[in-house]
Amino acid sequence: MRLRTTERARSLMLPAAVLGAILVLDQGTKLIVELNLNGERDYWVIFPWLSLRPRLNTGGPFGAFSGHGLIFATASLVVIVGFFLMALRAPFTRLGRAALAAVIGGGASTLIDQFRLGGGVDFLSIGPLIFSVADIAIFVGGALIVFGPSLRRSKERSRDRLGASR
């Protein structure tokens, strides 16, 4: 039995909020960094652990494989579409859908950077790693999906819930 339209809409509210918040937060922080910080120097926030180090990343996560942005943009698009379809069709808990939305939001924001600037804008630095809010969202969302087996509902629990809502 399919979920009623209002139940389906309600089940998508948290993921939509997570996705929107990540897009706004990531693009907003990057805009602030672009307008206010010179990319030629580091700005220490908590010495010596955290600094702001604006860089254009033309590669993959944490600056790996620099110069291969088109490959990562294509992979991002495939992952975004795949996770979006998975979120709509697979029986996930609310937290599981939010984790999928975090990966989709982070990937979409990185894709926006790829098309707008030719690479992702990374600015948070811990040691040699430089990343952005989108990278954090992708990492945390992905970790929750991989290491949170209870994020996916079992078919029995889904069936029981659907039977109870009739």
- Residues 136, 29: Cα–Cα separation, whole Å: 13
pTM of the model: 0.78
pLDDT (tens, 9 = 90+) of the chain, 166 residues, equals: 455 667 767 777 888 999 999 999 999 999 999 888 877 778 888 877 888 888 888 876 666 667 766 777 888 889 888 888 887 777 778 888 899 999 999 999 989 998 888 888 899 988 888 899 999 999 999 999 888 766 555 544 545 555 554 4
72 domain-assigned: yes
165 domain-assigned: no
70 domain-assigned: yes
112 domain-assigned: yes
56 domain-assigned: yes
Structural domain harbouring 146: 5-35+43-156
162 domain-assigned: no
Burial class (CB in 10 A: 0-12, 13-18, 19+), 106: buried
Number of domains in the chain: 1
59 domain-assigned: yes
30 domain-assigned: yes
